Structure 1
Amino acid sequence: MKNMKYTKSIRFKILISFIILIFTITATVFSLSYYFTLRIMENNTIAYTQKLVGMLSDQVDNYISYMDNISDTIAADSDVKRFLSGSDNGQEVRERMNAVLSVRSDISSIILFSDDGRVVLDKENQTLNPYANYQETQWYQQAKAADSGYAITSSYVQNIIKDDYRWVISMAKTVRNKDGAPAGVLLIDLNYNVIRDLCVNITLGENGYVFILNSSSMVYHPHQQLIYANIKQEATDVVSRDPRTAFTTRNDATGRYYTVETSQKSGWKVAGTYDLKEILTYRRMVNNTYIVLFLVFLAIGFFISQKLSSMLTKPMNQLIAGMRRAEQGAFDTKVNITTEDEIGRLASVFNTMLSHIDELVEKNKEELENKRKSELKALQAQINPHFLYNTLDSIVWMAEMEKSQDVVEMTLALSNLFRSSISDQNELVPLETELKNIESYLTIQKYRYADKLNFKIDIPGELYGCLVIKLMLQPLVENAIYHGIKEKNGPGMVVISGFDAGADFILNVEDDGTGMTKEQIRSLLDANSEPAAGGRHSSGIGVKNVDKRIKLYFGEEYGLTYSSEPGRGTRVMILLPKTGTKEGDA
């Protein structure tokens, strides 16, 4: 029975499987895999190159077809025909050209030549180069010979326009007047960078590249200047003389493979080439790799089959036991598996996962507790007894002075302020509600301090619907008044402003009071520190509590930022999201 149980174990099955694999793999894997790997590698290289070259040829054809359509559109324009017939001065033709140039950055210039010697340039301030005879140019003669078709050149520096020498590819075609007779040539200079960018984006191995030839010269080559200087040689005869429209050939003289396709629209030869040495290098790498694998299998194969079966089963059992403990809620479980195989990595991921789960559970508990305490503190600190006493004292004084209107306004502001403070609204309220609350608070303070205090609220209306923490602004304004404006000689100003910041928005509370030192600013928002000498602290909800509540609801990236200098006032910036609360809050 014991032997029967052993034969059903994973260890026994692994051992038998490895013994069988050792004999079969060592006998066949090297020869077959090596052969097919080389064939596949070479075929894939050729197929990949053919595909890229074919795609590039299609892109060139599509681009030239599109340019031909543009030239047809211009040539068929009634203003062009009237100019060629001598009944137009060409101004409307120039406007037509400029309309095309404004939407086609890949076109360098457009020029219309009439057979009677008149010319329309796309810019009024341009003139023809007196030293260049356009009628003797290749593109002009080819266009006249093509009659109804178009002529396209290789890349060259265009010198027709005075003081304007650009590297271009020219497309020219014969145009007809309104009677249908050939009467001129339309020249469109294409930006050379367009063809260059199409070719540069294609890579063939480490040393491969693509280039384009026409019947007589180079259209594009990544080393074009070196070729013109005879520093670099290219087997252009292999590419240009082969009559086939698509082929792949090996050139032993240059040690390179060439894959070529002929563009149907331009007749250009689009060629991709890569170094034979790269294939030979890969072949040697494959050869060496298979030899090493073959020797390794022979040397340690049987040893691995013995050890691996026992090594795998032990950590698997440990991992299963750890999973069972975690299933029962013990997230502090650690599986001590030190192997570097898949089981070891799985155990490491499992331990990390449990650690993160445990941290998240604790963090969630802490956040819920902090939120509960924060909400409790907010409710407990909503009414400031000293503020209420001082306000009522001011109301009594104004009543004795028979300032009935001031008494009414101040009492109404106090009523609105305390109605908002003791309401059972959520802790998140629209910004508009919070602004009404702080306006009531500032109105009361304005009556108390008279000319000593001025205030201004400047918030864009589109931010009024954004959610903010209830009673968020009052402690900040309170600090600005009691620790900034009150201690200042002369009148002071409190400004509450805001602006849109994309997905977020920013509120600023600024005063021109006595300011703070850097040490006071550092201690202001530090939950574990006491206020620095002369520092500010809120007697109500408190600045630290405001910052903590904002981070609790919206995330650690939000909250308060203070900037101040002694004698130059203080600004507190409040960063908040426009999207409201995180999912699950409020």
Structure 2
Amino acid sequence: MLRRPLPIFVQLLAGIFLISVLVIALTNILNYRLTSQVMLNRMADYTQQSVEQLSDKIDVLLAQYDQLSQLVVFDDRVQQTLNEAGSGKRVAEDPIEFSRYIGQKTRHIANGMLIHLFDRSGHGYSSTDSLQLFWREYDEASSVTWYSKMARMDGKMLWVYGPAWRDGEIPAIIGARKIKYTKDLHIIGDEFLVFPVDKLNRMIGQTVQPIERKVQVMDPLGNIVYSTQSSEIGTAADTGLFAKFADGGPLFFDWTTREEGEQMYVTYAKSAYTGWTTIAYFRKEAVYSDTSQIWIHALLTIAAGTAVALILVAYFTWTLTKPIRYLALGMNRIGRQAVHPVKMRFTSREISLLYANYNQMVNQLKTLIKRLSEQQISVQRAQLVALKAQFRPHFLYNSLNLIYWTIEDGRAEEAQEMTLALSDLLRYSIHPTSDMVMLRDDLDQLERYLFLQRSRYGRVLQVNVEVEEGLEEQRVLRLMLQPLVENAIRHGLEQKEQGDWRIRVCICRKGDRLLCAVEDNGTGLDADAMKRLEIRVRQNQMPEGKDGGIGLSNLHSQLQSFFGEPYGLRLFASPLGGLGVILSLPLDKAKPASVWSDLLGGDGR
């Protein structure tokens, strides 16, 4: 006997219901897996950024202490006392008075910080008695396990966790370095910078946000400097985890903690300055709790009815994802193009709050970029002012002496001309106008300088200045030509024992650059010496003369500070027999190449 057939309505209803349930179930399962992975990635990225920011903030604090301590150890009196004590000479400085002096210097710089110095004879000097180094004797300090590592760091600061003494043993942060004598860089003593670990912990505690995670900071020796669980501070870190960090493994991985014995996600950041490792642990529940709620709601939605669920899911998915998608696109534009606040109204309070925070972040980012740009410009301008302020006094002395003897010889008119030339030269050098001048103005300054030098050296000095037509109106840096000619005379021609002195100045255009070549027939340099000199000039390691003039390295730094990295100077062997220097800076407008390309060669850079 056949069963009674089911109505089509029931079959369609059952079929649509089953298909809908299957589609919703599969969709929710896939969505659950995808959402879990996305949330895990986002949590990992967010935590990694937080860890890196915390590590950077610790570096800033310790670098500030490092810089402040250098003001003490590089003080002339401190350097002299430590050098005399280590060389076996009789030290004129009383140890107690010297310690008081260090204390005064430290109090002017930072409170709550101890600076303890040992000279090479083992004598100790402390900036304060309220906070003391745990190892009061040099033999005790030098026997600490990390002392040998500090000795190998060539004067750099080693930051570690260790004990200090303040009415009893307390945990502290210790920075240790070898002190070098500034004149010849030999070791003259040891410096120990100490401050209580509570100061670092307060700073970190204000930075770490209250989310479900544990944060630790570990020093290079594997000691826990900070932890959100205060009982772990000062203890040795998990050796397996410490070894994993030392091997440079992935920044995000699973790990079973030694303390809790549970599996957690771990992310970390290692500081290149201190060698400290900042670690964040977070439980899987913190990642998957929201996705579990989504799964429960999906099951309830299926039970409530496929049709209603589909409509509601479609409606609410659209209304929720549209503003979030728009926000994500706005976040992706950051760093690639201009980003502006969003002026829209939303029915959801949470979405409105999210966009309010986004708009606040955009405004703060614009303000920060503007402030950083202004600071960078201010720094560059200050560097230019400092470089411009230098002037070679020996030239002034020689010129005044020459004028004096000219007057003594009864050549009043020549003395007047030299006095006017020197006056105009000095006025141009220190005139508080723009850093940029016309090339003809700088050529006039060069001619005034050469007039005084010809008056001094006579016919032995021969200078040929060749300027390509049309370049006199180009804008160049003030005092660009005179230092090059002055260097050629002082370091090239004055070293010659006999013969005429010849200098050639060639100014031309090449492509979009203005090139200035100054060469002489002086003693010159061989290829290796010239290469070493050019490297020192470009690395700003060129020692200036005792009179402190504008040298090649300063001129190169000035050009790069004003125009950027592609510009500056280079050296070449002059056909005249001496040394040549080529300066390059941008033209106001690109013009045809010059006939001097054969002399300069290449692209003139």
TM score, norm. by length of structure 2:
0.40
- CA radius of gyration, larger in: 1
